[in-house]
Chain A
Amino acid sequence: MKKKTGLVFFPAFDYAISPTHPEREERLLYTQDQVNEEGLLDFDNIFEFKPDLCTPEDINRVHFCVPGIDELVHASHLISVGGTLTAADKVMTKEVDNAFALVRPCGHHSMRVVHGTRGFCTLNMEAIMVEYIREKYGESHGIKKIAIVDTDCHHGDGSQDIFWHDPNTLFISMHQDGRTLYPGSGFPDELGGPNAFGTTINLPMPPNTCEEGFLYVLDEIVMPILADFKPDLIINSAGQDNHYSDPITNMKFTAHGYAVLNDRLKPDIAVLEGGYSIESALPYINTGIILAMAGRDYSQIREPDYDAEDQIQDPRITDYLKRLKEVTFNHWENREALRSQVYPDQSFHTRENSIYYDTAGIRESQVETVRTCSDCGGAVTIESRNESRPKRPIFAVQIPRFCCDACRDWAEEQYAAADKYTYEQVFLQDKDNDLYLEK
């Protein structure tokens, strides 16, 4: 069925991390050529929109930028994140049925605390968009439960971190097995925090998984879980680096497969993430995704060098994916029972994280504490230190959306008690009141 599809296209032809970096000026050049040559914007149900700029308020709803936004964020980030917010606005106001933010640079490796750029990402576009939607349209449009399906080849560790304690956001990441690829995480037993156990789902796939395998995981695992969770909104964190020609990964997905995936997943909003085969893959994948989202015929999408023989999947991969399905449903269906095994009954749970920023060359160490709560996602505190700087740590307090009174009281106490002698900076992020304080 034909749908009105919005396209926010921002190739940022004047931005690169460095001249030969995969995230560079011409990353979307050939995509733009293909989209123009195919005449996609002349279809009566495809509309292009200019991105808006995102604001500090939008960023502060999700991140704790250290030392601050100005020191970390470049204009390109404000536009790429702004583009996702434009896409969200067009969908929420029903100007279009769905939208694709074809913007760069990417974002899904960015976590709550941001000391710099990691995995080419500075700001988490999907997360900022999710909180923007909840803040602006949540009540009026009845948006509470949101599902993010991350189809980038790399584990969406930033998004996982941000939604780790959020029971209202189902985060599913399909990616190449972390034992063989950056960032090295995303295993099936990473299932979420004590108040949101089970709403983080990781589906690592072996290298060389083909179109058959991807669509198996989609049809047999992702779609049934989505049907069960019943989200009000589905977001595709749409990386394109699973393609067989991608230079920095090892998978064998196809342009046609990406089109099928989006046709079946039917995301309300898709946001471009990675994808670095800028000549051989992106032009065809993006054409396929746009056609599929618009409900048009994508059956003739095919790369010039497509090789059907190469798409015959190793049976061992097929077997592995069957086992992945069993394990995943075991977790999903028994998540209540499993929670008490993983998180014993206690008032607070603490985890220590060591985070490496490959792009910026920073090592961050974190101690995160969440208040166990059956009434809300639980208030969280994070003590974070940038190991490469001889400074005191920062302290961040997060009051979740739909926060209960007990969690709020505890969080406000933590913020009040944190002193400037112990900490370089102290932050309070209050999602319910859309407030961000620093002392």
Chain B
Amino acid sequence: MILGIDVGGTHTDSVLMQNGKILRKSKVMTDKSDLLKSVMNATQAVTTPEDIKQLRRIVLSTTMTTNAVAQHQLDPVGLIVMSGPGVAHGELPLHDQAKFVKGYMNHRGVEAEGVDEDEILALKQEFAKQGVKHFGVVGKFSTRSPAHEKAVQALLDDHAGHVTMGHQLSGELSFPRRISTAYLNEAVWRLHSQMADQLQSYLKQLGTAVPLYILKADGGTIDVEASRHYPVQTILSGPAATIMGVLPYVPTSHDSVSIDVGGTTTDIALFADGAPLLEPKGVQIEEHKTLIRGLLTHSIAIGGDSHVRVENGQLLIGPERKGSAMAFDGPVPTPTDAMIVLGLANIGNKEKAIAAIESVARDFGKTTEETAQAIMDLACETIAAKVRSMIAEVNAKPVYTIHEMLEGKVLGPSDAIVVGGPAPYMAAQIGKLLKMNPIVPGDSDVINASGAAMARTTVELTLMADTEERLMSVAEEGVLTDIPRGFTMDDLIEIGREKLENVARIAGAPEEDIEIEVADSQSFNVIRGTATTGKNFRVRLQIKPGLSKQAGKHAAN
């Protein structure tokens, strides 16, 4: 059995699952002041003490760190940045709080300017006076050589509460994003640690030692203890939970799209042969563009509770939500009211829904029935248009080889999985507009909790080898080691595979879920004059987002 819990702003949902089926589900109110209590209530609502003994895993999805960022409840961070020449400091994120110091690496990870110890020690004193306990240390191209970040970290070490080094969070290139990501990791560090402590006492109270995971933005899970080092990865896990909940219904033989119609917004995600697409660079939260791997979602401000009105003869839906539908005593007409009038939805108070649409019909100059249909058509067409533009955008993404240019994959979804409250009433029409087969999963009211429950642990590793310099690097681990003569791409992949298996175990992956794939591999010649003097290999390995084998067999797969 597995237990999934989704702690949302209003409700905490939970599901108890076995062999891919939901045994029990529940919705309880979230107690914002007491996470432990909310999680415990949600657990007890679906489990008996006997069930607890049979649990193989518990997975939690929470918006706590996300909310902390949104509400600016962030701890002060001592941000030390080694920029070197390039984009001007004033153009970098957080430049007004960053301390720019000497030292930088070039694009091959060769030191171009050393770190000035005295400068760092002076800064350390300054931070001590201000009582700063959290530090982000970020260097340009630190994924190519972490030596400078490590040197600064060592100098800060005895004093620091905690130091995040940029290279630890991602192997991808983007100095500005590395700055933001390291900053956020420290800014939510204390909050996340407190949560991890609470979850440990939750396990104690349950009297079990079952693995406990937290959901990340990429739809993967991480052991709660391991998550203490990378709290930033749990930011924006909300949309990921839904996508993972949809995944059992996503066919693996072709492409599909998922459409989550909420009260205010509709979120769209894409799947290539069953695998959810990732954000190309990393997720953005508020103004912070990060290197956090996340699932690609596009949102549009239209939902079941969007404000419907007529302006200058024009029918308008959203972007605002003023409250629930009038059929549920809300203040203004909504698409939900229209669906009730059309007889698609048999919910709420029908008289009130009719009155709501009648008021729109008067301004619109059509019958109530026609107006309800027009609202429904506009809502579905708006969502369908957004789906089309997202697919077009993905297919217009630049590629960098002739092969991909001429023979690259073109995404062409043929199934639309529609979830959310209004899903059953809108799926058919949206499917028709998109010429896709509509699918409406059951139990979509607790889809975030079931998505979290079934998600597997994800990890990734970025490796590079330079046979001229006889060096290889593992970006996220800050490792730079010698390699022998005759080192090949296969050698690099093999070393990476072993390392990543370890990383996966530390992150809490059960052995059966450790399926490592080569996400990317490139080989280039290093030339001096007219002679080939070496090779430059670049490899990215991953366990990609997917369903854990522990979740058992699934409906559509």
Closest chain-A Cβ to B73's Cβ sits at a distance in Å of: 25
Which residues, 503 to 535 on B, are CB-close (under 8 Å) to A? 522, 524-527, 529-532
Of B87, B106, B177, B525, the most chain A CB neighbours within 10 A belong to B87
CB-CB under 8 A from B172, the residues of chain A are 36
Chain A residue, CB-CB nearest to B111 = A304
User: In whole angstroms, what is the CA distance A207 to B146 when docked?
Assistant: 40
CB-CB under 8 A from A42, the residues of chain B are 174, 176-177, 281, 289
**Contacting pair B88 A297 (CB below 8 A):** yes
Whether a CB of chain B sits under 8 angstroms from the CB of A405 is: no
Which residues, 1 to 28 on A, are CB-close (under 8 Å) to B? 9-15, 19-20, 24-26
**Contacting pair B108 A302 (CB below 8 A):** no
User: In whole angstroms, what is the CA distance A206 to B1 when docked?
Assistant: 79
Chain B residue, CB-CB nearest to A287 = B86
User: In whole angstroms, what is the CA distance A15 to B526 when docked?
Assistant: 15
CB-CB under 8 A from B113, the residues of chain A are 304
CB-CB under 8 A from A26, the residues of chain B are 524-526, 536
Whether a CB of chain A sits under 8 angstroms from the CB of B398 is: yes
CB-CB under 8 A from A33, the residues of chain B are 107, 173
**Contacting pair B524 A20 (CB below 8 A):** no
**Contacting pair A37 B88 (CB below 8 A):** no
Closest chain-B Cβ to A73's Cβ sits at a distance in Å of: 13
User: In whole angstroms, what is the CA distance A13 to B90 when docked?
Assistant: 33
Closest chain-B Cβ to A53's Cβ sits at a distance in Å of: 8
CB-CB under 8 A from A34, the residues of chain B are 86, 107
**Chain A 280-293 near chain B by CB (<8 Å), digits 1 or 0:** 00011001000100
User: In whole angstroms, what is the CA distance A40 to B281 when docked?
Assistant: 12
**Contacting pair B86 A301 (CB below 8 A):** yes
Of A19, A24, A37, A49, the most chain B CB neighbours within 10 A belong to A37
CB-CB under 8 A from A29, the residues of chain B are 524, 536
**Contacting pair B403 A14 (CB below 8 A):** yes
CB-CB under 8 A from B522, the residues of chain A are 13
Which residues, 169 to 201 on A, are CB-close (under 8 Å) to B? none
User: In whole angstroms, what is the CA distance A297 to B88 when docked?
Assistant: 6
User: In whole angstroms, what is the CA distance A44 to B176 when docked?
Assistant: 13
Which residues, 96 to 153 on B, are CB-close (under 8 Å) to A? 104, 106-108, 112-113, 140-141
Which residues, 380 to 428 on B, are CB-close (under 8 Å) to A? 396-403, 405-406
CB-CB under 8 A from B106, the residues of chain A are 304
Out of A14, A287, A297, A303, which one reaches B401, CB within 8 Å?
A: A14
**Contacting pair A299 B88 (CB below 8 A):** yes
Out of A36, A50, A303, which one reaches B398, CB within 8 Å?
A: A50
Which residues, 32 to 48 on A, are CB-close (under 8 Å) to B? 32-34, 36-40, 42-43, 48
Out of A20, A30, A301, which one reaches B532, CB within 8 Å?
A: A20
Whether a CB of chain B sits under 8 angstroms from the CB of A79 is: yes
Chain B residue, CB-CB nearest to A278 = B527
Chain A residue, CB-CB nearest to B172 = A36
Of B86, B174, B175, B397, the most chain A CB neighbours within 10 A belong to B86
Tell whether A12 pairs with B402 under 8 Å between CB atoms, given A25-B524, A247-B529, A302-B85: yes
Chain A residue, CB-CB nearest to B523 = A25
Whether a CB of chain A sits under 8 angstroms from the CB of B89 is: yes
CB-CB under 8 A from A14, the residues of chain B are 401-403
Whether a CB of chain A sits under 8 angstroms from the CB of B91 is: yes
Chain B residue, CB-CB nearest to A279 = B108
User: In whole angstroms, what is the CA distance A12 to B405 when docked?
Assistant: 9
**Contacting pair B173 A75 (CB below 8 A):** no
Chain A residue, CB-CB nearest to B398 = A50
CB-CB under 8 A from B527, the residues of chain A are 20, 24
**Contacting pair A9 B524 (CB below 8 A):** no
Closest chain-B Cβ to A14's Cβ sits at a distance in Å of: 4
Whether a CB of chain B sits under 8 angstroms from the CB of A76 is: yes
Out of A32, A50, A76, which one reaches B402, CB within 8 Å?
A: A76
**Contacting pair B403 A37 (CB below 8 A):** no
User: In whole angstroms, what is the CA distance A13 to B521 when docked?
Assistant: 12
Closest chain-B Cβ to A346's Cβ sits at a distance in Å of: 49
Out of B91, B175, B400, B526, which one reaches A32, CB within 8 Å?
A: B400
Out of A10, A38, A279, which one reaches B87, CB within 8 Å?
A: A38
**Contacting pair A30 B107 (CB below 8 A):** yes
Tell whether A12 pairs with B401 under 8 Å between CB atoms, given A24-B525, A42-B281: yes
Which residues, 448 to 484 on B, are CB-close (under 8 Å) to A? none
**Contacting pair B175 A25 (CB below 8 A):** no
**Contacting pair B531 A39 (CB below 8 A):** no
**Contacting pair B88 A39 (CB below 8 A):** no
Which residues, 49 to 103 on A, are CB-close (under 8 Å) to B? 49-51, 53, 75-76, 79
Chain B residue, CB-CB nearest to A79 = B405
CB-CB under 8 A from A303, the residues of chain B are 85
Chain B residue, CB-CB nearest to A48 = B398
Out of B85, B90, B400, B524, which one reaches A10, CB within 8 Å?
A: B400
Closest chain-A Cβ to B253's Cβ sits at a distance in Å of: 27
Closest chain-B Cβ to A229's Cβ sits at a distance in Å of: 34
User: In whole angstroms, what is the CA distance A302 to B86 when docked?
Assistant: 7
Closest chain-B Cβ to A30's Cβ sits at a distance in Å of: 5
Closest chain-A Cβ to B537's Cβ sits at a distance in Å of: 12
CB-CB under 8 A from B177, the residues of chain A are 39, 42
Tell whether A297 pairs with B174 under 8 Å between CB atoms, given A13-B400, A19-B525, A24-B527: no
Whether a CB of chain B sits under 8 angstroms from the CB of A296 is: yes
User: In whole angstroms, what is the CA distance A29 to B464 when docked?
Assistant: 14
Tell whether A75 pairs with B406 under 8 Å between CB atoms, given A19-B525, A297-B90, A300-B88: yes
Chain A residue, CB-CB nearest to B141 = A37
User: In whole angstroms, what is the CA distance A291 to B87 when docked?
Assistant: 8
CB-CB under 8 A from B403, the residues of chain A are 14
CB-CB under 8 A from A10, the residues of chain B are 398, 400, 405
Chain A residue, CB-CB nearest to B533 = A20
**Contacting pair B398 A49 (CB below 8 A):** yes
Chain A residue, CB-CB nearest to B531 = A20
CB-CB under 8 A from A43, the residues of chain B are 91
Chain B residue, CB-CB nearest to A35 = B173
**Contacting pair A25 B525 (CB below 8 A):** yes
Chain A residue, CB-CB nearest to B403 = A14
User: In whole angstroms, what is the CA distance A10 to B174 when docked?
Assistant: 19
**Contacting pair B400 A11 (CB below 8 A):** yes
User: In whole angstroms, what is the CA distance A279 to B104 when docked?
Assistant: 16
CB-CB under 8 A from B90, the residues of chain A are 297
User: In whole angstroms, what is the CA distance A36 to B400 when docked?
Assistant: 13
User: In whole angstroms, what is the CA distance A251 to B343 when docked?
Assistant: 78
Which residues, 62 to 106 on B, are CB-close (under 8 Å) to A? 84-91, 104, 106
**Contacting pair A36 B525 (CB below 8 A):** no
Chain B residue, CB-CB nearest to A299 = B88
User: In whole angstroms, what is the CA distance A204 to B155 when docked?
Assistant: 54
CB-CB under 8 A from B397, the residues of chain A are 50
Chain B residue, CB-CB nearest to A304 = B112
**Contacting pair A279 B107 (CB below 8 A):** yes
What are 5 sample pairs from A and B whose C-beta atoms fall under 8 A apart? Answer: A10-B398, A14-B402, A26-B536, A34-B86, A300-B87
Spell out A's residues near B (CB within 8 Å): 9-15, 19-20, 24-26, 29-30, 32-34, 36-40, 42-43, 48-51, 53, 75-76, 79, 247, 279, 283-284, 287, 291, 296-304
Minimum-distance CB pairs A-B, first 7: A297-B88, A304-B112, A39-B176, A302-B85, A26-B524, A36-B173, A37-B173
Spell out B's residues near A (CB within 8 Å): 84-91, 104, 106-108, 112-113, 140-141, 172-177, 281, 289, 396-403, 405-406, 522, 524-527, 529-532, 536
Given A296-B88, A302-B85, 16 more A-B residue pairs with CB atoms under 8 Å apart are A9-B398, A9-B400, A11-B400, A14-B401, A19-B532, A20-B531, A25-B525, A26-B525, A37-B174, A38-B86, A38-B175, A42-B281, A50-B398, A50-B399, A300-B87, A304-B106
